[in-house]
Structure 1
Amino acid sequence: MVDVFDRIEWKVREIFGKGPVCVHVGEVKRCDIKRHPTYSKFRKEALSAGIRSAASSRVWESLIAMGRLSDLDGDDTWRLVILDCIVPCFRGVAARISRDFRVEREEVQSAMVVAALEVWRDTAHGVPPRNIRDKMVKAAFEVAFRYASGASSEWSSDEIELMIQSEAFTQEPVLKASSIVDIHSIRNTDVAEQLRGERIGALFQLLGHFGVVREFHEDLRAGRRSGSVRQTMTTSMLLRSRISGPSLYYYTSDLYPPYIGLREAAAVMGVPESAAHRLIRVGQFPFPVARAGRSYKVSVKALMHFKDIPDVIVHVDDVENGALHVSGGL
C-alpha cells in the first residue's frame, strides 16, 4: 500500500531522475567538484551518514545548507530531499505503533513528518546545521510515541500532500523608501515596472559596470541564455510579456554569479573572514551557506536578502533606458 513516505520518495525521484545530483551548490555545472552521484546513490550515503553521525557528516551539512537556500527561493525541493533522507528511519516505529495501538499508520506517518517540518521551521536561525537532522528525528519519534500513549493529534495526511504538490512561487519586489518615488504608492503597475528597470540601469551605469549588463542583454535577445522569471508570472503580472514574451524579463540577481566565496561575502558584510567561519561553526551565521569540499560557497541571493538589496524583476528596455538617461544619451 502506497503511503506518505512513498509519495515523498517518488516526488524527489521525479525531480532528479537518473542524472547526477549536486548537494554543494545545487547545480552540477556550477560546482567545482567534478564527480556527482545519482540521487539513489546520494540517498544511500545520506541515510548511512545520518545513522552513523549526522553531526559530523559533511553530507548532512551540505544537505541542510541546500535546504535553507532553496527555502529562500521559495523552492521546497531540497526540503523534500531532507525528508526523503530521514523518513526511512520512521517506518519501523510508525508500523509498530499502528499495529500495537490500532491507529491508522498513515496518520502516524503524517504526524511524524509534520513534527520534523516544524523543527525545520523553528531551527532556521541560531541552531548549528549539524544538529538539525537529529532534532527532526527526535521530534518525529516523540509525536509518534504520543500516539502510542493515547494523546490526540490534529495532524492529517492532507497536510503532507501540500508539501508534495508543486508550488506556484511568486516574488513581490521590495524597494526601500529611500527612493524619491515610492514605487508601492504607484497604482499604475506599468509605470512601477518601468521605474524599477530604469533605476537598476542607472545604478549600474553610475558604477561603471553597464558593460556586463549590456552583454547579458545581448545574450537574452539572441536566445543564448534566459532569465529566471517564470512563465506563470510574466503572463499575469508583467506589462510586455504578451508582446516580447518572458525571455526579456529577468531578476537582477541574474546579473551576478550564483555563488561567491566566503571571503568575498564577509567583505560585503563588513566582517573578517575568520569571524564568518566562527559564526558558521556555531550556527550563528545570518543565512545558510553551501559546503563544497573544504570550502564554503555563499549564495548571492541569500547575501542580497541579508543586505536588504531588492531582487526585482526588470525588462531589458527599461534597464537600458535608465542607463541612457544618466549617461546623457551617449
Structure 2
Amino acid sequence: MQWSPGSRRGLAWVTAEIGVLAMSDIFDEIERGVRKAFGADPVCVHVGNVMECEIKRHPVYPRLRAEAIRAGVRSAPSSRLWESLIAMGRLSDLDGDDTWRMAVLDCIVPAFRGVSTRIARDFRVEREEIRSDMVATALEVWAATAQGVPPRHVRDRMVKAAFEVAFQRGRSRIPEYSTDDIEVFSEPETTARGSGLRASSIIDINSIRDAHVAEQIRGERLGALFQRLGIIEFVRGFHDDLRTGRRAGTVSRTVAMSGARSLISSPGLYYYASDLYPSFIGLRDAAGVMGISETAAHRLVRAGEFPFPVARAGRSYKVSVRALMLFKDIPDAVVHVDDIESGALHVSRAARY
C-alpha cells in the first residue's frame, strides 16, 4: 500500500483507506508520504520553486516542518511562516496537487498525538480511530476555509475542530463522523484547460467537433496575437529552447495520452500558454490586472477575502499568474510551436500587402 501525495489520489487515499489505517498510524503514514514527496532537496514555502524565489536560503523539508511545529501562531514571524504554508497549500489545490495541503496537515498533527493518546486511554477507545477522525475533520475544515478566512487563522481552526471531534469520540464511544464518504474531501477533476483564443476570427472554436482542427486554430490565433503585440521574437526564443532540448515541453505526456496530431513535428513541443509568463508577479501588478488598487488588494488579503490564494515571500506577497488567469477567465491553452509560428507568419505576410 503506497501513497503518492504529489498526485491527485493522495487525499483520496488518506480518506478512503482510513479504516485500513486503523492497523497502523495515520500520522506516521502522512509524515512518510510527505517526506517522500519532497525528498532531500531544499523546499520553498514562498513561491514553491527554489530557483524562482528571491529568498535564496531554503531548508530541507524536515527542518521546515520542525520550524513550523515550534512556531505555531505565537509571533509575527511564525504567523508569516504559517501564512506561507497555507497559501502554498491553496495554490497547489488550484493545480490539482495536494502535496502542500498534506504538508500543512503533517505540520499540524504533532499537536494531535498527545491528545489522542490521552483520550484513548481515559475513555478506552481505539487511538487509531480517534486519530483518523481528527485527520478527517482537519481536512474538512481546510475545505471549508478556502474563502473568507485569513490564512493565519486556518491552522487554529483545523486544530480546534480536530480536538473537538476527538473529545466527542471519547465521550460517546460511537463514531459520529463518517469517513466513508470521501467526496467531502476530494475535489472534482479539473476541466480541460482553455476554451480557445478568440482573437478576431468569427469562428467559434467550441463549435468545432474535430479536436485537432480546433487545436490548430487556437495555436494560430495566439501566434497571430503575439505577432501583433510585437513579442513574437521572444516567443521564438522560447520555441528554440524547446526544440534544442534546453527546456522541456510541459504537457508532452498529457498530449501523448490524449493523442496528438499525426503530422505534428513532435509531441514534446506542446506547452501551456502560461509557460511564457512568469510563475508569480507582485501584488501591485496583480491588482492592476484585476482593476483594483494595491491598497484594496492588501486589505482583501489581510481579511482572507482575496479571490484566490497568494504566497508570502518575506514582507511582500506574490500572486500566481495561473491563478490570476483563472480568475480573469484568460484561457491557458495547450499549443504547439508550429501552430504559433504559422499564425505569426500569416499576420506578417498580410502586413506586407
TM-score by length of 1: 0.90
Distance 1:312 1:288 in 2: 22
* Equivalent residues of 1:198, 1:318 under 8 A apart: yes
1:152 aligns with 2:175: yes
Single out whichever of 62-71 and 171-180 deviates more from structure 2. 171-180
Single out whichever of 318-327 and 257-266 deviates more from structure 2. 318-327
Single out whichever of 316-325 and 21-30 deviates more from structure 2. 316-325
Q: 2:238 aligns with which of 195, 209, 216?
A: 216
* Equivalent residues of 2:277, 2:321 under 8 A apart: yes
Name the SS of the counterpart of 2:178 in structure 1.
coil
Partner of 1:281: 302
Identical counterparts, % of pairs: 64
TM-aligned CA deviation for residue 108 of structure 1: 1.8
Distance 2:120 2:289 in 1: 53
* Equivalent residues of 2:280, 2:320 under 8 A apart: yes
Q: 1:172 aligns with which of 164, 179, 192?
A: 192
Q: 2:72 aligns with which of 50, 56, 66?
A: 50
* Equivalent residues of 2:252, 2:270 under 8 A apart: no
* Equivalent residues of 1:111, 1:153 under 8 A apart: no
TM-aligned CA deviation for residue 97 of structure 1: 2.7
Distance 2:94 2:210 in 1: 29
TM-aligned CA deviation for residue 55 of structure 1: 9.8
Say if 1:92 and 1:53 are closer, same or farther in 2 by CA, change over 3 A.
Answer: farther
Partner of 1:307: 328
- Could you report, residue by residue, the CA deviation over 1:44-90 in whole angstroms, capped at 9, with x for unpaired residues? 11011116358961100111111111111111111011010001111
TM-aligned CA deviation for residue 93 of structure 1: 2.0
Partner of 1:264: 285
- Could you report, residue by residue, the CA deviation over 1:140-177 in whole angstroms, capped at 9, with x for unpaired residues? 111112211225335348959x98xxx99765023279
Q: Which amino acid aligns with 1:293?
A: G
Q: Which amino acid aligns with 1:175?
A: S
Say if 1:246 and 1:143 are closer, same or farther in 2 by CA, change over 3 A.
Answer: farther
Distance 2:229 2:319 in 1: 23
Q: Which amino acid aligns with 1:49?
A: A
Partner of 2:116: 94
> What does 1:115-264 align with in structure 2 at a 5 Å threshold?
115-150=137-172, 151-156=174-179, 172-175=192-195, 180-229=202-251, 231=253, 233-240=254-261, 244-264=265-285
* Equivalent residues of 2:197, 2:218 under 8 A apart: no
Say if 1:228 and 1:119 are closer, same or farther in 2 by CA, change over 3 A.
Answer: same
Q: 2:338 aligns with which of 276, 300, 317?
A: 317
Distance 2:157 2:167 in 1: 15
For these two proteins, the number of residue pairs brought into alignment is 325
TM-score by length of 2: 0.84
Name the SS of the counterpart of 1:314 in structure 2.
strand
Distance 1:119 1:39 in 2: 24
Q: Which amino acid aligns with 1:284?
A: E
Say if 1:319 and 1:86 are closer, same or farther in 2 by CA, change over 3 A.
Answer: same
Q: 1:76 aligns with which of 98, 111, 118?
A: 98
Distance 2:210 2:249 in 1: 24
Name the SS of the counterpart of 2:72 in structure 1.
helix
Say if 1:239 and 1:277 are closer, same or farther in 2 by CA, change over 3 A.
Answer: same
1:6 aligns with 2:3: no
Structure 1: any 5+ residue segments left out of the alignment? none
Distance 2:268 2:252 in 1: 9
1:292 aligns with 2:313: yes
Name the SS of the counterpart of 1:68 in structure 2.
helix
* Equivalent residues of 1:235, 1:241 under 8 A apart: no
Say if 1:61 and 1:219 are closer, same or farther in 2 by CA, change over 3 A.
Answer: same
Q: Which amino acid aligns with 2:270?
A: Y
Structure 2: any 5+ residue segments left out of the alignment? 1-22
